[in-house]
Every structure is written in structure tokens, then in C-alpha cells.
Chain A
């Protein structure tokens, strides 16, 4: 347990020491800021629903950048050899790293609260919808991070990890566009496996067990695969 915490701490401070994290943070915030005012101006409505949509879209592009180095860098620099020869279980390594990235992603989401405050100040937003929207966003981010970790455990090359993550996220996110062309079970399957059908409910203020299950299952599955990959040194 203390080891998970130690690794999380190390990951987090690693983020704050790398320029990449600041670039991502800055770019996200500025894009988000611009969209926020465009959307609010356009909708003339005190809701963050469309803002969440922007954020979800942004995650497809920024999460790969955040998670690509998690395992790939350790493998390239040889610190993986250190990590894996200390008496630390693979589960602890994966969880420690997952929490590190998760916390960093959460700080990005935390930015939303500033904008929420603005809306709260000028109008009366639907609080439940806002908070369930943030929860949905957070779950989606967590799933993306878990997938990023998984891709990073496959290779020692950060670029490869980022591209793999990006491809998977892209499929999850944009599979909604295929729905039109598919019908029957296949269509239902594609629709279920995409994130869109699940975050949609959250941003409408609807928290359902099935949506939460979808994200939690996805996270656990990705992390299990990650552990399997580092356990069996599949990157060699």
C-alpha cells in the first residue's frame, strides 16, 4: 500500500517536472476557455453540457500524450529493471502508476470547477446535471488513462505508445459515427462499446448502473492487461 503511494507520488512529481505536462495543461485550458465562451455565448443557457462534450473530445488527443511515457520511458531508460527487481508486486506498480496519471487528469478536470463557479455566479445551472456530467467526464478520462497505460506497457517507444492509445481512443470515441450504417446486434454492440452512448446520459444528469459498469469494467480490464504485459515482459 505504501508502495502504491510512493509510486503515485513519484509519477505525479514526474508529471510536474516534465514540460509535456505543462504544455498539455496550458493547451487544454486555452482551448477549453475559448470553447467555453463560444458555447455559453451561443447557447445563452447556463449549462455545461456542451462544454463537457468539448472536454471529452479533447481527452482523445491529450490522454495519449500524458500516458505515453508511463511505462515506455521506464523501459527505454532501464529503470524498469530497477522497478521490477525491487520487492514490489506488479499490481502495485500498475496501480501506483494509474493513480498518478489519474490524479493529474483530475487536476485538468478540476479546471471545470472554475467555469462552474462563473456559471453559478451569473445563472442558476442544473447542479445535478453538472456534477453527473463531471463524474461522467472523469470516468471517461479514467478509462482513457487506463487504456493509455496499457498501450504504454506494450512498447519501449513513446511515440508508438501514443499512437496506439490514440487509435483505440479514436475508435471508442468516434464509433458513434458508424452507428448510422450498422443495424441489429452489431449496431447495438458498436453503440455499447463506444463511450459516447454512456457519457451522453451523464451529461444529461442521468447516472445509471450500466454506464458506470461500462467504465469500471473497461478500466479494470485495461489494467489487468497492463499487468499481464509487464509481468510477461511482452515488450521485448
Chain B
């Protein structure tokens, strides 16, 4: 559906995107990750034809974004980083205006506005002036605007920023439910969100695509899953002897309180978890918890982004 070829973007002398190439198929949900200033927003702006690329080209559904931008804009729903709202309009008027500009047929206009308002839980503020809404509600209006013409490609720049947990879940579900028919690109800084929604992750760093992989592949490859946290109640000594007995288990850190002991471990192999546990059950200790140390994606992300910094 999307083919990007060697996209490069300069702002003055600053190179913000550097030869970015990728393809995204129909129905994929892709998450863009990257630190602040990595170029995610710029990339999305190029995809939506808001900004021209300095060189390289993108096509969406076979239409060149620069040359056939009108055809591209027909099929793209876009939520910019800051929700683009006319503050003096009411929610309903704004969505109607958006529907008109996005070629929603006049007959379906009101029905469509009603539909997105209920999907984004905006019914209770429909007559409120947008300027008086809270941040989260503004964000929801922004999302409503993006999906109003049932676009086949949704580009969402940090869609869940400012949303409460319930609404957050709702938006994630909304995106998931679109799945089979639509392609979605989203960027976020909340990694657990990507883990739950996206099937594919692109990590962007300083304008380059560092990683472009299926989420599951990325997680299996990463070393993060071999970091474990072990929490036990009982004799600290017993655990330590067990750990010494098993090769390839490295004790990184220990934190103890009067009741519990907390061990950070690094295992050379996933299979060692089993061995470790079977040894521990024979000891006079109570195992309270054994779990992966941090969100695996988070670990991968941090290590990849920091990798070449030194």
C-alpha cells in the first residue's frame, strides 16, 4: 500500500530524514518509535503530503504523494501531533466541517458525524465550544476528525497522548478493530501501547530507520527477555547457593528487606528458567515472583537507541 523510496528531508542544513525506505502492506498496523526529534512527525507529514520531501518519493496505493496528492488525501485520515482544532467551533460543527472537506456524501454526513462521536465518546460534549474542552477531549475530537471518512490508511501521530486510561484502551481497541480492512501507522512514546496494538515496529533514530521488524521477531531476538526478576521469602543464602550451582546465570543485583529478597538475574538462555525453578522449589524458600525484568520492548528500544551513542 505504501512504498517509500530513499526519502530525505532537510530543514535548512539539518538533515531530518536520511534515505528512509520501507514498504507497508494493506492491513498492517505499524508503530513508529523513536526519541524526541527523531523525525517521526516529519515522516508522517511527508506521507500525508503536508510537507514535500527534499528527495526520494513515496506512493500510496500507487499514487505519488507529491504529484497526485489529492488522490492520496482522499484515502488518508491524519491526526497531527497537535490536534488541529478550530477553537471557536463546537465539536459537532467542526466534525461536520471536516466531513464536508473530506468528501463525505451530504446524505451520510450527519450519520457519519454521529457515528464517530459515539466511537470517540464525544456525545456529551457535542455542543460545547472546542476551546473549553479538556486536553483529552480535544485529542478525541482530533481522532474523530481523522476517522470521519473511513479512510483506508490512518496516520496517527501520538494518538493517545493526554487520554485517560479508559479512553486509552478504547482508542487501542478502535485501532485494533479497524485492523483487517485498514492500514494504520501510529507513533507513540508509550511502548506498552505499541506492544498491544502494532504488529510491526519501526525504530527511527536521527532520521534513519534503525529497525523495521515484526514485533514478535524483535522480541525473540532481543536479549531483554533473559533478564529476570526473582522475589523470594526466606533464607537469602539458599538462593545464592542455587544460583552459584547453575552455570550461565549471572546475579546482577540484590536488594533485601527483612521479609523479602529481590534478585536481578541475567540468564544466558531461556531454558535456564526451568532449571532454576526446579532447583529452587527444593529449597526452604517461598518464591513470590519470577518475571521478565522490564517491558521487553522498552529494553530493546533503549538499548538500540543508545547503541551508537558512545
Contact = CB atoms under 8 A, between A and B. Distances in A.
Interface of A: 2-3, 6-7, 10, 13-14, 17-18, 77-89, 233
A121 B45 CA distance: 61
Interface in B63-95: 70-71, 73-74, 76, 78, 80, 82-89, 93
A7 B73 CA distance: 18
Nearest to B77: A85
Contacts of A2: 100, 106
A2 B145 CA distance: 19
10 contacts: A78-B84, A82-B84, A83-B84, A84-B49, A85-B50, A85-B78, A85-B80, A86-B101, A87-B73, A233-B52
A87 B50 contact: no
Given A14-B88, A17-B88, A87 B103 contact: yes
Nearest to B129: A17
B51 interface: yes
B143 to A, nearest CB: 13
Nearest to B97: A10
Interface string B2-41: 0000000000000000000000000000000000000000
A79 B85 contact: yes
Given A14-B88, A17-B88, A18-B88, A86 B50 contact: no
A104 to B, nearest CB: 15
Contacts, number: 66
Nearest to A93: B101
B187 to A, nearest CB: 15
Given A85-B73, A85-B78, A3 B50 contact: no
A83 B80 contact: no
Given A81-B84, A233-B51, A89 B70 contact: yes
B100 A6 contact: yes
A2 to B, nearest CB: 6
Query: Size range of the interface on B?
Result: 20 to 34
A80 B103 CA distance: 18
Given A79-B86, A81-B50, A82-B145, A88 B80 contact: no
A144 to B, nearest CB: 24
Main SS at interface, chain A: helix
Interface in B92-150: 93, 97-98, 100-103, 106, 145
Contacts of B50: 81, 84-85
Contacts of A81: 45, 50, 78, 80, 84
A89 B76 CA distance: 15
B183 interface: no
Would you list the 5 A-B pairs with minimal beta carbon distance, nearest first? A82-B84, A86-B101, A87-B73, A6-B100, A79-B84
B73 A86 contact: yes
A18 B129 CA distance: 13
Residue of A6, A7, A81, A233 ringed by the most chain B CB atoms within 10 A: A81
B48 interface: yes
Contacts of A85: 48-50, 73, 76, 78, 80
A23 to B, nearest CB: 16
A194 to B, nearest CB: 37
Interface centre among A3, A82, A87, A233 (most CB of B within 10 A): A82
B276 to A, nearest CB: 53
Given A14-B88, A78-B80, 20 more contacts: A3-B100, A6-B97, A6-B100, A10-B97, A13-B93, A14-B86, A77-B84, A78-B82, A79-B84, A85-B48, A85-B76, A85-B78, A86-B73, A86-B98, A87-B70, A87-B71, A87-B73, A87-B74, A87-B103, A88-B73
Contacts of B51: 233
